[in-house]
Structure 1
Amino acid sequence: MLSVVLSAACLAIAPPLQEAKKPRAARPEAAPPALTVADRVTLRDGKVLLGLVTSPAAGPRVGFDMLVRRDWAQAHVPELAARWIRNAETMRKPALAERRKRLEAWRDERGKAGGDRVATWIDGELKRLDDPNGLDAPLLSVRIARDGCRSAERNSDASRRMLALAWLCGLPDAEDRPPGEVQDAIEGRGFTADGDEVPPLDKLMPIVAEPEAKWLARRAATEVSVDAGRRFLRYNNLLLPDPADGGRPLDAPLDLGSALGEIGKLLDPDAAAVDPLAPALAKIAAKGGAGAVVTRMDMAPDLSRVQVDVALWVRGPQGWVLYGSRNATVRPEEVDPGAAADIGQDPQVQSVFKIAESLGLGAVAGEMRERSLRMGAATARALGQARSAFSQELNGLAFPVLEASPETAPAPPPAGGTPAAPASRPAPRP
């Protein structure tokens, strides 16, 4: 069993993420409600709004929220736009005071050390909050009251993604353009239009009041996206640094020498009484940190399945709490036998079996070796699935610290590609 644990620990750090990079199979799309990429809402008086519906449900019988571009609203529904802008300005004053207070407290906790990208972003954000002319957000958050519309037509996921990317690109009048034209414009600016995931639009939206728990989660997500030493891999009471942390590539090899000391704890009968996560979180807190990511692997005793859970831990007034997680479960029978064979040829995996033998566990039998490799491949798939879903959520929470930093700005992408993100980001935001 220990050989399986060692194999999975090694595989979780190197080969598994390669599976997440495989292109997803295309799936059929529903026809858009109109010849544009926007959602279409027809109000009771007949006026039409084009934008993005953000509520799970929308229609005449429910109240719902949507995003409308400020310039589009002023050009097409000026009276409504004026009212929405007045409401936004009224709500903005207390939200700005709250945001400024929280940013200053965050800055003080991080200290005055130079070269801190988060602190540099906070300083720039505080200056921006002092400039009333720079706070007009490109997007307006609009509330459609119950019985306030005749119809609400949500576009296809692919079209909604293109509209969001067009807004991020600053494409003029994207709501009124046909999908093909919008796609060409997006790809001409270096974004990948294909897909159905709407990228985060926080930086285009007005600052609003947030619950304390949400603010702390955003702060934690930002820190784990930028700062090193915040990501861990856990199996039972074994805790290892995640090689994806601190800007290292996701396929970085496992340092078997440094890992042996931690692996040896599995043989210590007293180790089960000690939670290895607590001291790791304490070190982060001692430096003013408020976030950590823990990837946990759980294997069934009969090796019938593996579950991977990726969780965001947040430090609040009452200590560290689990904010949210994403998980995936895969059975060894669900993976391609060829994947297990490829893993078996990896020098790291071969070293793992040698380590098992050197610890006095004896030679690993062929059947157990094959089962271990299949479990490693299953771990690879589960890890890729869980991390992909978690990264999307993390990107939606994190502030755009790296985007605002000139020294970490991505290089211009090739035509039709996705803009490269700094290595310390979990995934490209678009």
Structure 2
Amino acid sequence: MTDSNPVFFLSYARTPGLQGADADQPVFSFFEELGEQVAGLTGVPAEQAGHVDRPGTASDGWLSKLTASSVLVPLYAPRYFTDPLCGRQWTAFKRRVGPDYGRAVVPVLWIPPTQGTTLPMAALDIPAHLPREGDDEEQHAHDRYAESGLYQLMEMEDDDQRAYRAVLGRLAQRITRAWEDTPPRTVSIERLTDRPGLVDAFAAQPSKPTLRITVVAPTAARLPPGRDAASYGSDTESWRPYRTARGTLTQQAFALARNLGFEPELVPLEKAYESITYDGSAREPVRPLAPSVLVVDAWILGDLRIAEQVQHIVQANRPWLAVMAVLAEDDPQTRRDEARLRSLLEWTLSRHRHLRDMPRTARGTAARGIPKADAFAWLFAELAKSCYLRYLESRVRRPTSD
């Protein structure tokens, strides 16, 4: 690690006005103590453990540091979610890490939200509270933290100062784990600040409907037996099955979604699985989050765990979800193994209603294996529109009681 690669980036809402720097001094004190704790756990020098913007720094000077940081540490306070700079930093970090960015965000309850207020949509899926772990004293510290916030614990004496130290240590441990679990992903500043710009993640956005897209494919580091890495990269976003198409499949799907008037959202398989399926002993979700498209590389279905997850998703039979399987005919290996890959698709998607009963529909055609990029584009457009209409129907339909 170098001085340009901090473990964490501390994001906070600056206090406005001439006295802002003095008012924010507790933030900088906390940052120094947190950096020392993280340095002790990671073995990096304290001055390299984290980064926080100081008064007088350039307006966008934070961007290069955030690009190099592994963990985002936002200081939650009422003003944090109304500060456009904090919203832009959140957006930049999400692009920096990728769709599963939540695992690399370690929030700090600096000032808890007032009663009746809720977190913005961007932060809802990220746990803000510490788990009640440890002995009675540590659990008491966590309860005080959830009730009062870290800023108040920091300003108190005696017992509450011990509570502050206990919470500080636990936060440092969470940051260290997130740093260890988040693989490095080099993203240029140019990619972070592409044409849409760094929008405020917490601001009200134009009312484009969301389309959730989940790509289920191998990575270059985890290839199925007998598969070369030519179509893959460091993450599922890099998958490029159609040799004659420009860009990755994710880029194609995002462009198609935007042309249809949607705001695409890339959702990892694990997160999609949780929102689509449910345990038989639990209550079925009453309302879907958004229309969804699951794009599956037939090659990955040799992985039994992933194949079973896809089976369960299909078995849930959500009308607002479409499953698209890819069998690229311009890929020599896919042509060679086509019979085996089709068998994997048939076994995995055997409960797909349209594949079994209505194979000539767009849904049935998409589930059998899409051979060409232009066919993928046509089917994606048809299925995205139909999923959206079915999503709207499910939103207005009254839930039935058990």
Using CA pairs under 8 Å that are at least 6 residues apart, name the structure with larger relative contact order, 1 or 2. 1
Same fold (TM over 0.5): no
Report the TM-score when normalising by structure 2.
Answer: 0.24
Which is richer in strand?
A: 1
